[in-house]
Amino acid sequence: MLISAEHDVIRLLADPLRAQIVELLAGGPACTCHLVADTGASQSNVSNHLRVLRQAGVVVAEPRGRYTFYRLRPEVFDSAAGYLAGLAEKARASVDARREC
């Protein structure tokens, strides 16, 4: 479950390693050992970031035998993208709407 939707997805991606993990998972499900190898980060560091992403509802854990694979929830990113697109549209519409001092 997301903590507070769009804002939290953006905040979560502010961490460079977490953003790298999300980008790797966009290529398909992966287990911690894959993510450790691909990022060069320690297993505990990757696991901590996956826990945060899982608790926020950004990734889903899927046990497969001895391993747990993680995959992204695309709808979370659709929602965040919609939020950002809305901000861009609002900025375009108000480019000449200066407030007086």
Using one digit for the tens of pLDDT, what is the confidence trace for 68-86? Answer: 999 999 998 888 888 888 8
CA end-to-end distance (rounded Å), the chain: 42
Q: What is the pTM of this model?
A: 0.83
Which residue, 18, 4, 27, is CA-closest to 74? 27
> Residue 20 above 70 pLDDT?
yes
Q: Residue 43 and residue 88: Cα distance in Å, rounded? A: 38
Please compute the mean of the pLDDT values over residues 17-26 and round it to a whole number: 97
Q: Which of the 8 DSSP states describes residue 4?
A: S
